[in-house]
Amino acid sequence: MTQSEIRLPAGGLSHAGAAAENAARRLRDGMSRGSRADTLLGDAGCLDPAFARDPARLLREVAAVDLSLGRLIEGHVNALSLIEIYADAGLRASAARDAAQGHLFGVWGADAAPAVQAERNLLTGAKRYASGLGAVSRAVVSAATPEGQRLFVIAADDTARQDQSSWDMSGMQQSHSGRFDCDGLTGRPLGPPDIYTREPHFVGGTWRIAAVTLGATIGLIDRASRVLASRDHLDSEAQLLRLGPLAGRVVAAWPAIERAGRIASGPEGAAAPERAAALSVSMRLLTEDLGQDAIAAIERSVGLQMFAATDPVGAAARDLACYMRQAARDAFTLTTGRAFLGGASLGSWLDD
């Protein structure tokens, strides 16, 4: 499955926001009743086996409605992309059938103690920060093996292996994250050893995180704007001076994210993978800065109300702050600085 073969969700991309709102409501209500979230998301059109012709835009629109749902959809896209790129024909066909039947995929890379290891495809250890427990039924996991780090596709729907009590974060509660026990599972190998961190599909894939982050920032600004409008404060100069520049930065960031995704996923990324990775992760850093600034500005604009536990603006801000705490920010900042400043003119990064 290539990006050119990806189809629109039910109703078309213009209805992705409405589909996401429906899916998010089903996710919250259904998972609290123990219903299968993969079926709920499929009902909303978000789990088409070929997904979407414009994945960056769909991720943005879903995250604007519900960041936890955006996180799960991003993992689904990432998992299917890794399978398409690295799997053998049998695993690729099996994953396509599962996706067509509404199975939600995820990628779980963070190890708990003990870390996940594999011997002859038999796994031991556990993963932490595994998102979508109770929703994800197929997961791509990394494991240490005698040959090096390998990827495996596992069945992830055994509730006895899931522990959400370990997720005690103030945000992203609806992502249903936690610990997953891999002891005794048999995985299907995905690609050769040490391919997980190969570019442009590792750091080079962080354009997806940037799209999700920007979408969540848009959702936060929209929620705050509605509160301010209800107070008849939105048109005040103080609010416009505080929030207007943020809105302009959002608009300016979007074409750059789309371009980074296009380069990382296309022939340019294959030809210059490290360059594509640097461009992609710069989008993640850009949107993190934008999200942080949006949270600070909106706290000043909305005020004490958003610190109430049930306030929707405050909840969106807490989710965004939690989601943006992706690993290795400083290392990635150094990487982009060296890439952008250590070679040819900075202007050479601006043109395809």
150 and 262 inside one domain: no
* Any domain includes 198: no
11 and 148 inside one domain: yes
140 and 11 inside one domain: yes
Helix, strand, coil percent content, the chain, rounded in steps of 5: 60, 15, 30
User: What mean pLDDT is reported for the chain?
Assistant: 88
81 and 177 inside one domain: yes
pLDDT above 80 for 22: no
154 and 221 inside one domain: no
pLDDT at residue 33, rounded to an integer: 45
CB 100 within 8 A of CB 49: yes
| Number of structural domains in the chain | 2
Residue type, 118: A
pTM of the model: 0.90
Average pLDDT of the segment spanning 202-224 = 97
180 and 240 inside one domain: no
Residue 153: phi, psi to the nearest 5? Answer: -100, 130
Instruction: Find the domain containing 80 and state its range.
Output: 3-190
Q: Which one has a higher pLDDT value, 43 or 154?
A: 154
Find the length of the chain.
Answer: 352
pLDDT at residue 61, rounded to an integer: 86
Task: Please state, in angstroms and rounded to a whole number, the distance separating the CA atoms of residues 14 and 232.
Answer: 30
* Any domain includes 180: yes
Task: Give just the sign of the alpha carbon dihedral 11, 16, 21, 23.
Answer: positive
pLDDT above 90 for 352: no
Q: Which one has a higher pLDDT value, 5 or 92?
A: 92
| pLDDT per position as a tens digit, 105-131 | 999 999 999 999 999 999 999 999 999
Secondary structure class of 1 (helix, strand, coil): coil
26 and 168 inside one domain: yes
* Any domain includes 268: yes
Average pLDDT of the segment spanning 20-32 = 61
